[in-house]
């Protein structure tokens, strides 16, 4: 694909050799003459002069003198170019003969269902969706259009998934929440009879789990991305465009509002609320019923504002050296 064609796709202007053929994408430091790279920050800009990339995605302030495409956000533009150069090739529509499908399940003619998959009663699979090998899809499930389920995904009954969702291998949607009631000298299971609802453009990483609600709904909003090994407890409500990194766990009833960012290995207690735009640093712990305010950046256990956390670390370091802490 020529540089000029890539620029047209991005609705951006190019400089230099617009006829140069670009066949791949690569990091700035290892790209070759037929590949495109991006300059995302000042450090990368300093490295750009030594790069052999045929074309660079750059911001407006980048100096002239080589083949470039100027965009507002080079990193985001690079993601779009990668998708353009390496398009996903879905399997041909059809149902593998080894699948087991309930008589009243409805599967779009343009969908693909891989080998040894089971599809339960009253389940719907939408247009152009691709279901990998060895998936287990329960009864009353709705899977929207253009979804991709990799191999070995498990979806319990009565789960709704929007359009363009990506579910990676080993993830489980709709398992029972961790609900037990102490009855004398033992625990009795609290029936988990709620649902799971997943919005559009959601991606859920490998071996992640989203539990069904005890009553009501566990929900994940449009555009939210879960990394590998993330656990979403029963009755959680996750907003739109939330990002949650690996090995994070949310207890039951947690509310995460739109555009929040949650780092890896974060633990969030029952019924805590993370307001919109808040950032939780990796490894922090949010106590039960705690509220992290809108736009706040917190760190540590218990989670507290970043400035306060850093100050406490500095005071601790001074104590270790035998000096008096600052007031």
Q: Where in the sequence numbering do the catalytic residues fall? A: 234
- Between the alpha carbon of residue 193 and those of residues 76, 177, 190, 264, the distances in Å are 41, 10, 9, 30
Q: Are strands 136-137 and 154-155 parallel, antiparallel or unpaired?
A: parallel
Show the tokens assigned to 224.
């939210």
Phi-psi region of 79 (alpha: psi -120 to 50; beta: other; left: phi over 0): alpha
Terminal CA-to-CA distance of the chain, rounded, Å?
62
Work out the number of other CB atoms within 10 angstroms of the CB of residue 41. 12
Geometric angle at alpha carbon 177, from 153 and 231, rounded to 5°: 55
The two tokens of residue 210 are 């989203």
Please give the Cα distance from 146 to 156 (Å, whole number).
20
Cis peptide before 302 (omega within 30 of 0): yes
Cα radius of gyration rounded to whole Å, the chain: 24
User: What whole-number distance in Å separates Cα of residue 205 and Cα of residue 191?
Assistant: 27
> Cα–Cα distance between 1 and 179 in angstroms, integer?
55
74 vs 55: CA distance, rounded Å: 12
Total Cβ atoms within 10 A of residue 124 = 16
Q: How far apart are CA 103 and CA 218, in angstroms?
A: 28
Tally the C-alpha atoms within 13 A of residue 53's C-alpha that lie toward its C-beta: 28
């Amino acid at each position: 694909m020529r540089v000029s064609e890539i620029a047209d796709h991005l609705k951006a202007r190019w400089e230099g050799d617009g006829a140069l053929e670009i066949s791949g994408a690569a990091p700035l430091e290892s790209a070759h003459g037929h590949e495109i790279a991006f300059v995302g920050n000042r450090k990368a800009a300093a490295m750009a002069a030594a790069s052999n990339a045929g074309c660079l995605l750059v911001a407006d302030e980048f100096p002239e003198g080589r083949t470039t495409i100027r965009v507002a956000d080079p990193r985001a533009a690079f993601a779009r170019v990668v998708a353009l150069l390496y398009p996903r090739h879905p399997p041909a529509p059809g149902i593998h003969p080894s699948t087991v499908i309930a008589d009243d399940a409805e599967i779009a003619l343009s969908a693909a269902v891989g080998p040894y998959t089971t599809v339960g009663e009253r389940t719907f699979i939408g247009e152009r969706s691709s279901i990998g090998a060895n998936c287990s899809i329960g009864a009353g499930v709705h899977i929207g259009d253009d979804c991709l389920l990799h191999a070995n995904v498990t979806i319990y009954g009565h789960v709704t998934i929007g359009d363009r969702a990506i579910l990676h291998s080993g993830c489980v949607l709709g398992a029972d929440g961790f609900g037990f009631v102490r009855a004398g000298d033992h625990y009795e299971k609290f029936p988990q009879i709620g649902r799971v609802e997943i919005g559009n453009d959601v991606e859920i990483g490998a071996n992640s789990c989203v539990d069904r609600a005890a009553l009501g709904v566990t929900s994940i909003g449009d555009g939210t991305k879960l990394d590998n090994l993330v656990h979403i407890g029963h009755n959680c409500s996750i907003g739109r465009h939330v990002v949650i990194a690996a090995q994070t766990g949310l207890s039951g009833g947690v509310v995460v509002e739109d555009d929040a960012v949650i780092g890896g290995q974060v633990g969030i207690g029952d019924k805590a609320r993370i307001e919109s735009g808040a950032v939780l640093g990796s490894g922090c712990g949010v106590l039960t019923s705690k509220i992290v305010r809108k736009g706040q950046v917190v760190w540590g256990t218990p989670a507290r504002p970043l400035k306060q956390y850093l100050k406490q670390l500095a005071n601790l370091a001074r104590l270790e050296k035998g000096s008096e802490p600052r007031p």
